[in-house]
């Protein structure tokens, strides 16, 4: 090979594998050190809010919820696990996907969905691992923006957007004769009729839940004075018109609703909010529903998850007994609500001066217009004092913004259209692996650059980012990884 040609090849290889290095700045990667910046936290034991304690019982509810969040779900016949999994599901354990950097987080480095056949969660003769689920890729749910028509092409006049669960219980020893096919993932991929979502972390979620609408509206009005091309709106709950706030499009009003929907949609477990087994969107809309052989597989009747009439544990602690009585979704909601928010580092990565400069640059170039560092403050809380009258350092305005053709997923949820997304809260960003709603990148620089495309509100801010020097960009990346 001629020397010049060799140099070109090497340059291309460097650009391919180290994109940041070419331009002089790079994503420092997942921040090492204490989980969520909280000494004492472990991957299996994230910390609760500081006011959570055993004297008033809040700690027992937190611990009970944490435990249930890690339960492995079965279809039927299990005396040790919950029954009710499926008939369609994405995984059999909340904490399988909400795992990074601790229980309650987002997708881990080793994708458990890739191991479902190897680990006996799914029967390999009836299910295949979709090609978009990879060994070290993001944990994902899949949605088809449009229904297929009778000739098998996506029908743009028939929006779908519901979750197409990846796996079925068919062939599991505890699933009887239930026999279901997986949705047509391969054709959906070939036709571009598929989008993905990754799990949203829920650390600090109780504070977001406890923000009063008036605080959010005041923040919106203040941010309207930007000269950056930004003007967001809110997704509002269809029942009462108040601001909804959880999920990638802020489509869910409360943590209880968020838990109930996820239990039903991601794991196939009917509950007190979503009381039937869920067919696929097409099976539901076209009226075929689930076959009788796939209904009531747990043998308990519906809903599969209910309030317990009596304590399910033995304990001398009355609060521990109390905590075992609510249904799983209430326990999940309590766990999420009482989880402490991540604590940012003031020094890592890059040292305190770089992190400080990065924070100032983050505001100066306009990132903070949407990724509002702090919304103050929450309404008084009837759960625990830490949730009340507290600042919310979520780095989000909880608004939905047009993010352009580059990020659009053509899924409408509530008032959010196909290109609108909630400003992703950035607290805890430093220890996340995958970015953006579909986990398309693990490179923070690429995630920033994905903010610009036709129709995006972030184009001007991205241009400001492009105007920074390489060292300023590095400071900003260091700051983001300090969160």
Site residues for other proteins, window 265-304 (CB under 8 A)?
A: 280-283, 285-286, 288
CA distances from residue 149 to 155, 207, 229, 322 in whole angstroms, order as listed: 6, 44, 39, 51
Of 143 and 337, nearer to other proteins (C-beta) is 143
Contact 102, 36 (CB under 8 A): yes
360 binds other proteins (CB under 8 A): yes
The only residue of 102, 122, 216, 361 in contact with other proteins, by rule CB under 8 A: 361
Find, among 164, 198, 156, the residue nearest to 410 by Cα.
Answer: 156
Q: Which stretch binds other proteins (CB under 8 A): 35-43, 74-82, 440-448, 462-470?
A: 462-470
| 149: contact with other proteins by CB under 8 A | yes
Q: Which is nearer to other proteins, 145 or 341 (CB)?
A: 145
Is there a contact between 386 and 51 (Cβ–Cβ < 8 Å)? Answer: yes
Q: Which is nearer to other proteins, 11 or 190 (CB)?
A: 190
Near other proteins by CB under 8 A: residue from 14, 217, 313, 353? 217
Q: 378 near 41, Cβ under 8 Å?
A: no
Using CB under 8 A as the binding rule, the residues of this chain from 104 to 133 that contact other proteins are 123, 125-126
Between residues 228 and 340, which has the closer beta carbon with respect to other proteins? 228
Q: Which of 132, 148, 335, 395: binder of other proteins (CB under 8 A)?
A: 148
Burial readout 221-260 (b: 16 or more C-beta within 10 A, e: otherwise): eebeebebebebebbbbeeeeebbbbbbbbbbbbbbbbbb
**Tokens found for residue 432:** 């996340």
Cβ partners under 8 Å of residue 348, min gap 6: 31, 32, 33, 355, 481, 482
457 binds other proteins (CB under 8 A): yes
Site string for other proteins, 79-108 (x = CB under 8 A): ------------------------------
Measure the CA–CA gap between 106 and 100, rounded to whole angstroms.
Answer: 5
CB of 241 to other proteins, least distance (A): 4
Which of 86, 108, 138, 183 is in the footprint of other proteins by CB under 8 A?
183
Number of residues that bind other proteins (CB under 8 A): 96
Entry field: residues in the chain? 483
We find the least distance from the C-beta atom of residue 140 to other proteins, in angstroms, to be 17
């Amino acid at each position: 090979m001629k020397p010049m040609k060799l140099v070109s090849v090497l340059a291309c290889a460097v650009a391919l594998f180290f994109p940041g290095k070419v331009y002089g700045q790079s994503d420092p990667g997942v921040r090492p050190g204490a989980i969520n910046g909280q000494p004492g936290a472990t991957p299996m034991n994230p910390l609760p809010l500081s006011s959570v304690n055993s004297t008033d019982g809040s700690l027992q509810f937190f611990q009970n919820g944490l435990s249930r969040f890690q339960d492995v779900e079965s279809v039927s016949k299990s005396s040790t696990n919950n029954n009710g999994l499926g008939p369609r599901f994405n995984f059999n354990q909340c904490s399988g996907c909400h795992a990074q950097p601790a229980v309650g987080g987002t997708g881990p480095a080793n994708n458990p969905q890739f191991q479902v056949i190897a680990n006996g969660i799914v029967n390999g003769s009836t299910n295949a691992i979709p090609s978009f689920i990879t060994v070290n890729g993001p944990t994902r749910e899949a949605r088809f923006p449009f229904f297929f028509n009778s000739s098998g092409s996506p029908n743009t006049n028939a929006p779908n957007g519901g979750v197409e669960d990846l796996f079925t219980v068919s062939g599991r020893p505890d699933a009887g004769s239930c026999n279901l096919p997986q949705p047509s993932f391969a054709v959906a991929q070939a036709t571009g009729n598929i989008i993905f979502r990754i799990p949203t972390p829920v650390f600090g979620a109780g504070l977001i839940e406890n923000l009063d609408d008036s605080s959010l509206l005041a923040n919106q009005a203040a941010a309207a004075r930007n000269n950056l091309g930004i003007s967001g709106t809110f997704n509002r709950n269809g029942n009462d018109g108040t601001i909804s706030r959880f999920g990638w499009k802020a489509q869910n009003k409360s943590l209880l609703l968020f838990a109930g929907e996820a239990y039903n949609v991601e794991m196939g477990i009917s509950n007190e909010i979503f009381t039937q087994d869920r067919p696929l969107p097409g099976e539901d809309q076209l009226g075929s529903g689930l076959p009788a052989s796939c209904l009531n597989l747990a043998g308990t009747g519906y809903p599969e998850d209910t309030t317990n009439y009596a304590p399910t544990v033995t304990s001398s602690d009355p609060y521990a007994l109390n905590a075992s009585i609510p249904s799983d979704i209430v326990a999940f909601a309590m766990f999420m609500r009482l989880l402490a928010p991540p604590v940012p580092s003031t020094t890592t990565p890059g040292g305190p001066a770089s992190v400080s400069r990065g924070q100032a640059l983050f505001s100066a170039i306009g990132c903070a217009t949407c990724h509002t560092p702090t919304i103050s403050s929450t309404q008084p809380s009837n759960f625990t004092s830490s949730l009340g009258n507290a600042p919310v350092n979520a780095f989000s305005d909880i608004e939905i913004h047009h993010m352009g053709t580059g990020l659009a997923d053509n899924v409408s949820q509530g008032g959010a259209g196909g290109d609108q997304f909630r400003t992703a809260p950035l607290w805890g960003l430093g220890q996340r692996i995958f970015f953006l709603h579909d986990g398309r990148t693990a490179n923070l620089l690429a995630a920033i650059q994905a903010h610009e495309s036709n129709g995006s509100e972030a184009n001007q801010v991205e241009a400001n980012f492009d105007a920074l020097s390489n060292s300023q960009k590095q400071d900003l990346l260091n700051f983001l990884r300090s969160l």
